[in-house]
Amino acid sequence: MRFIVSSQNLLKSLQSISGVLNSSNTLPILDDFLVELTGSSLKVTASDLETTMSVVVEATMAEDEGSIAIPAKILLELLKTYGDTPLTFTIDKNQGIEIAADEAKFRITGHNADEFPRSPQMESTTSLVLASDLLLTAINKTIFATGNDDLRPAMSGVYCDLSPDSVIFVATDAHKLVRYKRTDVSAAESTSFIMPKKPLNQLKSILPADSTEVQLIYNETNARFTFRNVDLICRLIEGRYPNYEAVIPSDNPNTLIVDRQSFITTLRRASFFANKSTNQIRLTITGQELFVDAEDIDFAHESRQRLSCNYSGEDMEIGFNSRFLVEMLVNIPTENIRLEMSAPNRAGILRPVDIENQAEDLLMLVMPVMLNS
C-alpha cells in the first residue's frame, strides 16, 4: 500500500478526531489510528470503544488499496513539525511504515488492521437532519450544565427529546439546569436519548458554524452524526433521565431585568470576596435597585455593589452560587437578561430578553443557597 498526502490536510483531519483517543487504554490497538485506503480516499478512524470517529482525506496519489493501524502519538508529533509538505507513505507486508518527506525518511512499526475494533452496525434506526449551527448552539448552551456524578450517569450527558413539534436539549447537575428548545426542527416520531459528554465535546470542536447539514441517525443504543467528511458514532447513556419539567417553577411573580454584561462583571468582582468553598453571594432587590453582596467571614472580606435594574414584585433577598450564575449568563447571548423568582428558597429562572429567533426558547434554572442570617 502506498499513497501521497498533504501533511497539513492529514494533520488537520487527525487533530479533528484525536480527542477520541484516551491517555490510557485497556487495548493497545486503541492507541492507534486505523488507516484504510480505498481508491484515492484515505479513511482514518479513532476509537475508545464507546465513541468511534472517522474522517476522509483525499490522497494526491494512491497505489494498492489496504489498511493499517498506525501509532497515533508519534504520527501526530511528526506531522506537527511540517508545513504543507507532500508525504509519501509506503506500507510493506510486515506492517512496516516508511514516511518520506523532502530529503528525510522515517520508519514506524504499524499493527494489523484486523485487531482494530469495528464500528457498531446500527439497526432499526431513525434519522433526522439538523443544521450544523443549530446543533452547535444546542451543545454550547447545555454541555456546561452536565453533572460529573458517577452514581448518576444519566445526568452526566445531555438529554435529547425529539418530537414532531420540536427538539429539546436538557442538561442538569442538580444545582443548575438548562433547557434549549427549537420549534423550527422536528422528528418524525417522539423519542428521547441521553448523549454522553465526550462525543458532544468532539462535535463542539469541529462542527462548522453555518447551515451545513448534519445527519443524525439513532436507535436505542447508539447515535451517529455525519457531515462533510466526518462520521461519529457513540454509545448512548443508559438509564432514565430525571423529570426536569417537575423542578421548573411555573409561578414566578418577581421579575428582574438587568444588563447582562454589567451583571456578569459585578458577580465576578463579588466572587473575589465570597467564601471560596460556597461562592455564595446575596442579591437584595428593592425598588429599581439591585445590591450584590459577598463576604468571607474566615478572612473578614466583604463587598457590596449596586446595579440599576427593572424590577417588578415584592422586595426580596436571595442567595446564589456566583460561579453557577456566571456560567449561565455567559451562555445567554442577549443584552439584557430576565431573572424570574418566586421565593428565596425556590429556584430562579434565567431567560434572555429580546430573542431574535422566535423558534428558539432558552431557559436556565439555578438553585438558591441558604443565606446566613
What is the pLDDT averaged over residues 301-316?
A: 94
Alpha carbon 247 to its chain centroid, in Å, reads 23
CA nearest to 343, candidates 320, 322, 368: 368
**Interval 20-36 mean pLDDT:** 92
85-122: b (≥16 Cβ within 10 Å) or e: eebebbbeeeeebebebeeeeeebebbebeebeebeee
- Going through 132-236 in order, the beta strands assigned E by DSSP cover 158-162, 167-172, 176-182, 191-195, 213-218, 222-227, 230-235
Residue 298 has pLDDT above 90, yes or no: no
Confidence of residue 24 (pLDDT cuts 50, 70, 90): confident
Per-residue confidence band for 355, with pLDDT thresholds at 50, 70 and 90: confident
Residue 364 in grid coordinates: 436556565
DSSP string, 334-361: SSEEEEEES-TTS-EEEEESS-S-TTEE
User: Which residues neighbour 187 within 8 Å (Cβ) at sequence distance 6 or greater?
Assistant: 126, 128, 162, 163, 164, 167
**What does the alpha-carbon distance between residue 243 and residue 304 come to, in Å, rounded to a whole number?**
38
Residue 247's CB is within 10 A of a number of other CB atoms, namely: 13
The yes-or-no answer to whether 2-115 and 248-366 have a common fold is yes
Highest CATH level, class, for 126-175+183-246 = alpha beta
DSSP 31: G
pLDDT at residue number 357: 83
Q: What is the mean pLDDT of the chain?
A: 93
Query: Comparing 36 with 373, which gets the higher pLDDT?
Result: 36
Decide which of 188 and 181 is more confident.
Answer: 181
Average pLDDT of span 21-36: 92
pLDDT (tens digit, 9 = 90+) per residue, 328-347? 999 998 999 999 999 999 99
Task: State what percent of residues in the chain have pLDDT above 70.
Answer: 99
Mapped onto helix, strand or coil, the DSSP state of residue 39 is coil
Pick the CATH number of 248-366 from 3.10.150.10, 3.40.50.300, 3.20.20.70, 3.40.50.620: 3.10.150.10
pLDDT number for residue 373:
57
Return the pLDDT at 339. 96
Per-residue model confidence (pLDDT) at position 333: 87
Higher pLDDT, 297 or 71: 71
Over residues 39-84, the pLDDT tens digits come to 999 999 999 999 999 999 999 999 989 999 999 999 999 999 998 8
In the chain, % of residues over pLDDT 90:
83
Task: Give yes or no for a contact between 268 and 326, defined as CB atoms under 8 angstroms apart.
Answer: yes
- Residues 161, 170: contact at Cβ < 8 Å? yes
Q: And the C-alpha cell for 197? A: 459528554
Strand order in the sheet with 158-162: 191-195, 158-162, 167-172, 176-182, 360-366, 348-352, 336-341, 254-259, 310-312
234 Rama class: left (phi>0) / alpha (psi -120 to 50) / beta: beta
The cell numbers describing 260, all together, are 447582562
Instruction: Report which DSSP code applies to 264.
Output: H
Q: Among candidates 9, 73, 17, which has minimal Cα distance to 41?
A: 9
For residue range 79-113, list pLDDT tens digits in order: 999 988 999 999 998 999 999 998 899 999 999 99
CA distances from 41 to 38, 67, 75, 121, 216 (A): 5, 12, 19, 22, 23
Domain boundaries, the chain: 2-115, 126-175+183-246, 248-366
Per-residue pLDDT band for 150 (boundaries 50, 70, 90) equals confident
Q: What is the DSSP letter of 77?
A: H
Give the confidence band of 25 by pLDDT, cuts at 50, 70, 90: confident
Q: What is the pTM of this model?
A: 0.90
Mean pLDDT across the stretch 235-257? 93
Q: Which CATH superfamily is domain 2-115 in?
A: DNA Polymerase III, subunit A, domain 2 (3.10.150.10)
